[in-house]
Amino acid sequence: MARTSRGGGRLDRLARSIRDLLVLLDELSASGCAVISLRESIGLTTPTGRLLVH
């Protein structure tokens, strides 16, 4: 598994709208990427983390 950092980026900066963010996160997840936000302490690999984003 590779770890990638975008220089302290936040989840709200990945997309222009919540819809775009959810689509992007779904595409990353479908590709096998685990998305974890260290700043917001949200791991999107768990049901609780996915609920917090929605």
The structural domains of the chain, with segments of one domain joined by +, span 11-53
Q: How far apart are the first and last CA of the chain?
A: 25
What CA–CA distance (Å, rounded) separates 38 from 42?
Answer: 7
Q: What is the pTM of this model?
A: 0.59
pLDDT of amino acid 41? 77
What CA–CA distance (Å, rounded) separates 36 from 45?
Answer: 8
What CA–CA distance (Å, rounded) separates 8 from 19?
Answer: 22
Contact 24, 18 (CB under 8 A): no
Task: Note down pLDDT in tens along the chain; length 54 residues.
Answer: 445 555 555 666 777 888 888 888 889 889 988 888 777 777 878 888 778 777
Contact 42, 49 (CB under 8 A): yes
